[in-house]
Amino acid sequence: MVHFADETTSWQYLLDAMPDGILVVDREGVVRAANRAFATISGYDVAELVGTSMDQLVPAEERPAHHDLVESFHDRGVDRPNADHLDITLVARDGQRLNVDVALSTFNRDGRTYALAAVRDLSALRRLEAERDDSARKFQLAFETAMSPMTFTDSEDRIVTANPAFCELLGRPLDELVGRDSAHFTYPLDVGVTERSHELVRGRETSRDRYVKRYLHRDGRVIVVEVSRSATYDDDGNLLYSVISERDVTEERLLTAQLAHQALHDPLTGLANRTLIEDRFEQTRAKVTRQGGFGAVLMLDLDDFKVVNDTHGHLIGDQLLVAVARRLQEVSRTSDTLSRFGGDEFLYLVEGVHQAEQAEHVAERLLAALEEPFVILGIEIEQRASIGVAIWDTTTPIDAPIIEEADLALYEAKRLGRSRYAVFSASLRQHSMGRFEQLQELRHALDAGEIVMHFQPIVDAAGSRVVGFEALMRWNHPTRGLIGPSEFLALAETSDVIHDLGAFALTEATRTAAAWTGPDAPYVTVNLSARQFFDDDLPALVTSVLGASGLAAHRLILEVAERVALLDVNRAAATIAAVHELGVGVAIDQFGAGLSSLAYLMHLQLQFVKIDQSFVRPAHGIGYNEALVGFIVSLGEQLGVPVLAEGVETTDQFDRLHDAGCTLSQGFLFSPAVPATEATTIAADRGWPAAQPSISKPAASTAPQASTTPAS
């Protein structure tokens, strides 16, 4: 009789041919046979397995249950037609636990029952399943908790499910979304955007698409989203579903629009800025070239705006700019563009006009809009402007510098007296080139020592004694000879060279006056430009030149024109107070041109007032003129301010002014402005050179002592 072991040995080649692991186990749980596949699974050799107990292959904690299972299985009978499948754990030789599927069947041999176990290692499968389940859980978690709104749609683009972020995006519950396409809550003008995307992926023109659309939130708000769609197909290429991810870009688009607006608009006034107006300008030029007609650029600059900033501060200045912008907008045509070009300059682009005169009408309308005073934070401000107009048509060269031409016209408007407009002409460019060349020449003249100071005596009421000198600037031109200040100071005012000239005048005047010695030495007066008078550095400059020259402060008087002081009386008063602290006096020049402003004298501490030359050489009747002079002198006496008459050329003029009570005079009757050396000679004699006779009219009243030795 052949024993079982012998038979299994003869069957070994059949067992080894099986793809699954095979074990033959007796009722006592002893392994009677095994194949190479099981040896591979368990890590044992076949010889090691045969004759050993199954217990070594079962975890210790599971062995009792395993014994019960084997016993129960054997008790259920043999020759079972169908195998039982069990998921059990085996321990490999290296101690690793393996999940295996066991198909158990029994057979009877030689009166003994054996179990035949077909073992399949499920560890890799279980790992794959676990990984798949884990991935599914992670995807579900990601889908549910994602901040990005997401939906799944079927082949008809109906929503299968949506995550909470999508529900929140639309303000709608999930049950209100499932089963519907997005058209039900899409902004009406965007219906069709999603549908076109769906057709693209369904027709396999693309499997991915990206687009922008708008939704309607449940509360009526419009939501802008960026949509990303990915499609999945079956093996036949039919669309199964789409995964749609969306990003709310409403705030982003709003911010982008705001940034775009800010890039093209002035942040203070909200008007178009330089970039936008220059782009519109080029478009308008092209339009005129194509369609004919005229275009125009109006350069508007606020007159004396710096005084507002210096007096009231930049907050008031900024608010005034905003108020000016609103006034100009109110009278602007809808076809035109108004921009803030920079600082207190505005550029107005005129489009679609058929006559050049229409541009001038626009300029008149803009100027008229500023006639009414502004009230800024309770402060009333009269703000005027000057405008330069440049007009072009189809005959204008394409490279013509229109904006530059408007700027030149603006300069002309300022030169003509401000608060008006001027239209560009070819002659203005020639004048501009001349001004530029003259400015360069003036700068050179200052460096080359061609600028000199002359001094005109100021005499007492009797016309017999010099009490002071007015320092007057001259340009000793190498070819034109001696040039008076009226020919170049107005030009200098348009550039920073005026500061250099002003500093030079103060330096030379104080240096020259310091040489006038004696117990009752004359004082010197120096004219200040508007820019120099309102310059915050003026007190420091005066302190510096006095220190360098050694001139006593009370012998220096600074003159400022009445029109300059009236630009801002409060600011003028502050400047005068600062100068007085240094011991220096201040006088008003060209006084009386506007009698309505006489009240401001009470607010200013003046050394004297110099009446305008129109009172000395009147165009009106003498009686009318003398009445005005008498009024000014009387007002000056009441306020303790002496009156000085300049431009006196005849004894008749001097007599009338003397009779009116005018205590100080200067003019060609006494002496023209003379070089410093002659002024020093006159100052030493306190009278006239031998060739110049004095005027011997007794004084009607004693001249104020303050006029000879100005007090601080």
Residue 552, amino acid: A
Does 473 lie in the same domain as 350? no
Within a domain: 433: no
State residue 619's pLDDT score.
Answer: 47
State residue 536's pLDDT score.
Answer: 86
Q: Provide mean pLDDT across the span 592-596.
A: 51
Does 509 lie in the same domain as 648? yes
Q: Provide mean pLDDT across the span 647-662.
A: 83
| Residue predicted with more confidence, 554 or 598 | 554
Residue 557 has pLDDT above 80, yes or no: yes
Does 466 lie in the same domain as 598? yes
Quote the longest CA-to-CA distance of the chain: 176
Strand partners, 302: 385
Contact by Cβ (8 Å): 242, 232: yes
Q: Provide mean pLDDT across the span 339-354.
A: 91
Does 413 lie in the same domain as 302? yes
State whether residue 455 is helix, strand or coil.
strand
State residue 710's pLDDT score.
Answer: 31
Which of 199, 220, 254 lies at the terminal end of a domain, its last residue? Answer: 254
Residue 573 has pLDDT above 70, yes or no: yes
Under the banding of pLDDT at 50, 70 and 90, the label for residue 688 is very low
pLDDT tens per residue across span 293-343: 899 999 999 998 888 887 788 899 999 999 999 999 999 998 899 999 988
Residue 188 has pLDDT above 60, yes or no: yes
State residue 77's pLDDT score.
Answer: 58
Question: Could you tell me the CATH number of the domain that includes residue 375?
Answer: 3.30.70.270
Which of 375, 390, 424 lies at the terminal end of a domain, its last residue? Answer: 424
Q: Quick one: what percent of the chain has pLDDT higher than 90? A: 30
State residue 703's pLDDT score.
Answer: 34
Determine the structural domain holding residue 341 and report its residue range.
269-424
Helix 250-264 vs helix 274-291: angle between axes, to the nearest 10 degrees? 70
Question: Could you tell me the CATH number of the domain that includes residue 202?
Answer: 3.30.450.20
State residue 83's pLDDT score.
Answer: 61
Q: Provide mean pLDDT across the span 379-404.
A: 89
Strand partners, 154: 241
Does 538 lie in the same domain as 405? no
Under the banding of pLDDT at 50, 70 and 90, the label for residue 545 is very high
Q: Provide mean pLDDT across the span 619-637.
A: 67
Within a domain: 440: no
State whether residue 458 is helix, strand or coil.
strand
Under the banding of pLDDT at 50, 70 and 90, the label for residue 691 is very low
DSSP state of 52: S
Question: Could you tell me the CATH number of the domain that includes residue 569?
Answer: 3.20.20.450
Within a domain: 701: no
Does 157 lie in the same domain as 93? no
Within a domain: 280: yes
State residue 707's pLDDT score.
Answer: 32
Q: Provide mean pLDDT across the span 611-637.
A: 68
Comparing C-alpha atoms, which of 65, 70, 102 is closest to residue 87?
102
Residue 530 has pLDDT above 80, yes or no: yes
Q: Provide mean pLDDT across the span 469-473.
A: 93
Residue 589 has pLDDT above 70, yes or no: yes
Residue 603 has pLDDT above 70, yes or no: no
Under the banding of pLDDT at 50, 70 and 90, the label for residue 706 is very low
Does 326 lie in the same domain as 205? no
Q: Provide mean pLDDT across the span 512-516.
A: 93
H or E segment and range at residue 482 = strand 481-483
| Residue predicted with more confidence, 664 or 135 | 664
DSSP state of 146: -
Residue 590, amino acid: Q
d(CA 656, CA 622): 9
Comparing C-alpha atoms, which of 687, 328, 373, 683 is closest to residue 523?
683
Within a domain: 442: no
Within a domain: 712: no
Residue 708 has pLDDT above 60, yes or no: no
Does 299 lie in the same domain as 223? no
Does 507 lie in the same domain as 563? yes
State residue 435's pLDDT score.
Answer: 64
pLDDT tens per residue across span 99-153: 888 888 877 877 787 888 888 887 777 777 777 777 767 777 777 777 889 899 9
Q: Provide mean pLDDT across the span 580-601.
A: 72
Does 183 lie in the same domain as 250? yes
Contact by Cβ (8 Å): 50, 33: yes
Under the banding of pLDDT at 50, 70 and 90, the label for residue 433 is low
Lowest mean per-residue pLDDT among 90-94, 147-151, 523-527, 692-696: 692-696
State residue 595's pLDDT score.
Answer: 46
pTM of the entire predicted model: 0.46
Within a domain: 570: yes
State residue 109's pLDDT score.
Answer: 78
Classify each residue of 171-185 as buried b or exposed e, where b means 16 or more C-beta atoms within 10 Å of its C-beta.
Answer: bbeeebbeeebbeeb
Residue 690 has pLDDT above 50, yes or no: no
State residue 397's pLDDT score.
Answer: 83
State residue 676's pLDDT score.
Answer: 85
Which of 98, 126, 154 lies at the terminal end of a domain, its last residue? Answer: 126
Does 652 lie in the same domain as 524? yes
Within a domain: 441: no
Per the structure, the count of domains in the chain is 4
pLDDT tens per residue across span 215-235: 999 998 999 999 999 999 998
Does 515 lie in the same domain as 643? yes
